[in-house]
A and B are shown apart, each in its own frame.
Chain A
Amino acid sequence: MTTDIKNYKDIDISKITGDKKLPALWHLMHGYHLNFIVANLFTGLAALARTGMYLYLGDFIDRVIQSGIKGSNLFVSALSFGALITLQALSSFISSWMATLTAESATRRLRDYLFDHIQHLPFAYHSEAKTGDLLERATSDVDTIRRFFADQSINMGRILMIFIVSFIAIARINLRLALISIIIMPIVLVISMFFFKSLSRAYEAYQEQGAVLSTNLQENLSGVRVVKAFARQDYEIRKFDQENLKKFKLGKKFVWMHSLFWPLTDILCAAQGIGSNYIAAMMVINDAMTLGQFITFHGLLGWLIWPIRNLGRLIIDTSRTFVSLGRITTILKARQEDMTSASCEPSESIRGDIKFENVSFEYEKAQSVLEDVSFECKAGDVVALLGSTGSGKTSLVNLLPRFYDVTAGKILLDGVNLNEYSRQFLRSQIGVVEQEPFLFSCSIRENITYGVHREVSEEEIIAAAKEAAIHDVILEFKNGYDTLVGERGVTLSGGQKQRVAIARTLLINPRILIMDDSTSSVDMETEVQIRSALENLMANRTTFIIAHRIQSIMNADLILVFDQGKIVQKGVHEELLNQPGIYQDIYEIQARIDSALQEEIDRVNIL
């Protein structure tokens, strides 16, 4: 069995993203073309064998009637008939097998390709795209394509093949009869296409109402406290019943159309069958045809008429495949991030000296996010970024791992322009700790070692967890480090997630650290723990802190205060403290809080 899977990099995107759909589908089968061709050839062989079967049967009957064969001759004849059936069965098997192999292999490769492609799309793409939409395309649209390979493409060939072979066989008996037998075909084809189109439309409406019903149910369940608090059970029941009834009615309509379609087309097909059979029977009576030929004809006629009805459905399904392919290629057309190309490839870790020279950045043309930003820091320095939401802090740190590239100016890392390093290298040197990091649904241990590209011993993991002040929390879970994140009942708070990320970053041991330090939602106790964890982490690394409060940045080597994409204040704590400006204002808040609190307490005591 050739189940080895071709590398997903075999696909040449440019051949898929073109305007022509069929060549694109053909190219998606790259590497399995032979299988596909074999599948279709054997479909043809099966059709031939089946037709041969009927021809042989007619011949057999004619000879039996004329007492042409008897005894062992008869047995051999019967056996050859069995051999034809077996040949037909074997060919069908090979055909279906090859079709499955082609479809499953090609879609598996497409899935892998899409997965990898999506994760390599740049940040700019992901910030625009909707997760649900991407997911839909990478799953159900891919499945539509799979069905095309496994089903429609083969069956279309099969039906055409059967039709052609059967037609030729009948035509060889009697051409006029053959032509008469297909009069109804175009009508059946057109009707079935029309019907399947409206049927699938009705079915979609039915499914959509199902989604409405689900949403209704979900809101009811998640709002169960509100429902109960207002004692609105009866109201909810009525509301659900309305939508439920609507679904029932749509279902009824679909059932009606469905029940109508089959008998209606059946009447046409049956009329054709009966008419042709009648003519053929008359021919036998008039000695224009033998009885054996009639039996052959009778058998083949079924294979001429009925498949056509399914052809209509296949054509409609295929048009869906094209739509799905289009939806997939729009993803594939997006350019991946270049991870590796570099003109500067240091063999060791970087030092961590960073210099921004007149850096400007915009996500969209003429919408400046950072404007003319210049500053410099040495390896091991702590740089604090202050500023309101949207002032450019996050955009600035996103430039360092080259999540985005500068629009103007340059960033120097150890004196070399950042663009000369590969993204891969840069990201291996930079650690990021977000405010509330995303944890993956694997064990806590795996989350801690996530992205640590080396073997890590249990001791190391525990040491890192201790340093990040998360070890004790982890031990409180029943399964300790093996606890699955997101499992029922296991929820980590934002602060705890952050500490898991800190433990991870300690293990990665990057030269540059980017940290989001907004601890506003954590209570006091954990804040102290996080602070010590952060201090452990920051030691000996060039650190960028996105800060929201002054305590965490008083010791910074450089403080940058941002406003609307520009640096409005720059310096160390002591300098900024003596400058009128935002920094001073913030600092004074602390003092004001203390006095306000005292006042408040005093007021109580006086009363």
Chain B
Amino acid sequence: MPCKRKLIVSTYYDENELDDEVHLSKGVFGRLLKLLKKYWILVFCGVASIAFVSWLDAYFTMLNKQIIDDAIVTKNVSLMIRLFGNYSLITLVQLAGFFVMMYSVGLLGEKLRYDLRRDLFNHLQKLSLSYFTKTPLGWIMSRVTSDTEKMADLLTWGITDSIWALTNIGFAVYYMLRLNAQLALIVVLSLPIMIFISFKFRVKIYYHFRRSRKANSKMTASLNENITGVRIVKALLREDQNLKNFKVLSTDMFRESYRAGLLSAIYLPTIQTISAISLVLILWRGGNMVGNSLISVGTLQAFISYIMFILWPIQDLARVYAEMQNAVASSERVFSLLETKPEIVDRSEIIPTNSLVGNVEFENVSFHYETDEPVIRNLSFKIPQGQKVALVGTTGGGKTTIVNLLCRFYEPSEGTIRIAGQDYLNYSLEDIQSRIGVVLQIPHLFSGSIRDNLRYGRLDANDEEIEEAARLAGAHEFISKFENGYDSNVGEGGNQLSVGQKQLISIARALLANPNIFIMDEATSSVDTLTEALIQKGMHQLMSGRTSFIIAHRLSTIKSADQIFVIEDGQIAESGNHQELIRKRGLYYNLYTKQFRHDLESRLDPFSPTDAVESPA
């Protein structure tokens, strides 16, 4: 009976991963099978039940033969009743087996997906920052979302379908040989031809299918761009040209899906026609045999059934074969991600510490990313505990790198960084990073409530402490104006809040963490005066008593610093406090006066856009 029972559970096809032809290494299959080890019971249940179901699928034909030959032809009613009873019973047993198969394989798939996602995510948490700056976010996302799906599909339905198909073909051949070797030979000879052609077709169909997915994603990208840039499209009268370009893409899409569709349309009828040849031969030879009473009518009928049914397992086998390569390529990518070693790890000997209070010292520190030019050259300075340092200078000078080194997101290529008298490599990463508070230029919030985001600073903080931190940071006022107060949702990435509000929250968050060292990358974007004042106040709170490093853009921040470093080309070009540096009339003087003009201009300009504190939509 032509019933393919499996509803395709996963039809997620990754559109971005079409171009890479991965060379399959042998180790992958071994590693894939290893994933199954943990669930051997489920695997056993699945494999055993599918083999059982598949065997019964082949056996029913034999039972039908028995009914025809032994009961109907001989008019043996009591035997017939017994045979139909058996038939019903076996059907029930098969359905039970089928249920066990569906459930155990389905469950196995979900468990594998869960495991793979968890392992990948956990591994990603260990990787160093450099990995994330080198690897596009979308690439990582596809590994976790779509590759894991494909792997699980291969390990569950891929294997199950193959076993079902192979068992079914095997038993069918076995029964046919038992019934009549001569007729069976006809079928057996046609099998390789049908399998070969099926594989060829399936691979080709899948190839075009994948290309159509790729064409589809290009088409979507083009449409997306046209909608986003519709203003320019209209202003430049590009409609006709863009439609022409789009039509090229939609024609590609048409061509590939049409080819896939056409090949599918040819495929099954071709196989059927080939099987028709064996059927004709069977009917001819078999008919003769029946006429000569060499075989029974039931036997002839059984052969016809086997030939017609065997098309289904062949199709399944071919489909699994065609999709396997891609699924294995997915697995390779996942394994390679899992094998990526974090660049920065704890040293084998760690000095545990619960305080980073003390001086911060850079000694002849140099740093370069991979093999590039050094970004930091031979940098040395010493900051006494509790001082505020402002880092200023043009973009690309190395300010951010200094901060990244300090947080140990990267480690110096040469030289030593000492915190509280110890080479910081001797501390654990966790000890360093949990004692350094960071406020980024573009504050990153997680979707969830304001309270959740604040609590990120200290997970065991109670509501009073959270509120206290928000008060100190100057965030309490705007938060309490929201309808839901601290439980207001910040939206995805905090997009319900203004930049200024996000900054205030990230300051409060850092305050709650109560760090020993405070690092801030000041925002360049302008916020309204009121929020600006609040931010300054919050920063002041954070800096008091803590050694602080500020990549500074605000004049007031710079002026109040104990030390100012002008960073150019990875070195300290000028250092000193505000007065000293102004008197010097050098780089700092120029930077300062330029910034001063700019600030004042935008502050006085009645038309300058401001980022007012507003309530979330």
Contact = CB atoms under 8 A, between A and B. Distances in A.
Interface in A223-250: 223-233, 235-237, 240-241, 244-245, 247-248
Nearest to B75: A285
Interface in B562-617: 578-579, 582-583, 593-594, 596-597, 600-602, 604-609
Contact of A74 (B231, B236, B269, B287): B287
A180 interface: no
Contacts of B91: 270, 274
Contact of A607 (B99, B141, B283, B579): B579
Interface in B227-263: 227-239, 242-243, 246-247, 250-251, 253-254, 257-258, 261-262
Given A86-B276, A232-B456, A285-B72, A225 B129 contact: yes
A364 interface: no
Interface stretch (B32-40, B312-320, B322-330, B430-438): B430-438
A215 to B, nearest CB: 6
A548 interface: yes
B114 A245 contact: yes
Contacts of B140: 221
B235 A432 contact: yes
Contacts of A78: 279-281, 283-284, 287
Interface in A326-346: 337, 339
A220 B72 CA distance: 69
A217 B492 contact: no
Interface residues of A, number: 153
A333 B488 CA distance: 38
B226 A118 contact: yes
Interface string A270-303: 1100100110011011000001001100100010
Contacts of A488: 136
Contacts of A70: 288, 291
A413 to B, nearest CB: 16
A79 B7 CA distance: 37
Nearest to B149: A210
Top 8 closest A-B pairs, CB basis? A451-B236, A100-B261, A255-B106, A96-B265, A89-B269, A259-B102, A78-B283, A82-B280
Contacts of B166: none
A17 interface: no
A214 B438 CA distance: 26
A96 B300 contact: no
15 contacts: A74-B284, A96-B265, A100-B257, A111-B219, A221-B124, A251-B113, A260-B99, A271-B88, A450-B236, A453-B237, A586-B607, A589-B605, A590-B601, A596-B600, A607-B579
Contact of A262 (B102, B242, B243, B457): B102
Contacts, number: 405
A472 B575 CA distance: 33
B492 A215 contact: yes
A589 B601 contact: yes
A233 B456 CA distance: 11
A293 B177 CA distance: 27
B493 A222 contact: yes
Interface in A200-229: 203, 210, 213-215, 217-229
Given A61-B297, A218-B137, A430-B235, A138 B284 contact: no
Given A104-B261, A116-B243, A548-B607, A214 B145 contact: yes
A593 B597 contact: yes
A10 B383 CA distance: 75
Interface string A299-314: 0001000100100000
A441 B257 CA distance: 25
A259 B49 CA distance: 13
A230 B433 contact: yes
Contact of B433 (A126, A229, A504): A229
A488 B5 CA distance: 45
Contacts of A74: 283-284, 287-288, 291
A450 B238 CA distance: 8
A554 interface: no
Contacts of A116: 239, 243, 246
Contact of B407 (A229, A302, A582, A605): A229
Contacts of A247: 113-114
Contacts of B433: 228-231
B438 A251 contact: no
A164 interface: no
B446 A219 contact: yes
B87 interface: yes
Contact of B250 (A111, A126, A298): A111
A79 B125 contact: no
A384 to B, nearest CB: 12
B220 A135 contact: yes
A517 to B, nearest CB: 12
B530 interface: no
Contact of A440 (B121, B229, B436, B456): B229
Given A61-B297, A218-B137, A228-B407, A256 B129 contact: no
Interface stretch (A165-173, A351-359, A386-394): A386-394
A540 interface: no
Given A97-B265, A270-B91, A278 B98 contact: no
Nearest to A56: B283
A486 B227 CA distance: 17
Contacts of A593: 596-597, 600-601, 604
Interface string A422-443: 0010011011101001101100
Nearest to B220: A139
Interface residues of B, number: 143
B113 A427 contact: no
Contacts of B304: 57
A578 interface: no
A533 to B, nearest CB: 18
A302 B129 contact: no
Given A115-B246, A227-B125, A427 B235 contact: yes
Contacts of A605: 582-583
A90 interface: yes
A291 B236 CA distance: 78
B496 interface: no
B434 A440 contact: no
Given A61-B301, A81-B283, A150-B261, A294 B72 contact: yes
Interface stretch (B63-71, B360-368, B417-425, B532-540): B63-71
Given A104-B258, A229-B433, A291-B72, A252 B224 contact: no
B238 to A, nearest CB: 5
A36 interface: no
Contacts of A89: 268-270, 272-273, 276
A120 interface: yes
Contacts of A298: 64
A105 B220 CA distance: 18
Given A213-B117, A258-B7, A427-B234, A88 B272 contact: yes
Contacts of B225: 440-441
B513 interface: yes
B232 A77 contact: no
Given A223-B444, A251-B110, A451 B238 contact: yes
Interface in A67-88: 67, 69-71, 74-75, 77-79, 81-82, 85-86, 88
B254 A601 contact: no
Among B224, B251, B270, chain A packs the most CB atoms within 10 A around the CB of B224
Given A112-B247, A115-B223, A225-B409, A306 B72 contact: no
B474 interface: no
Given A119-B226, A131-B228, A214-B141, A258 B106 contact: yes
Nearest to A199: B7
Interface string A88-106: 1110110011011101110
A142 B492 CA distance: 28
B87 A274 contact: yes
Given A74-B284, A230-B456, A244-B118, A274 B276 contact: no
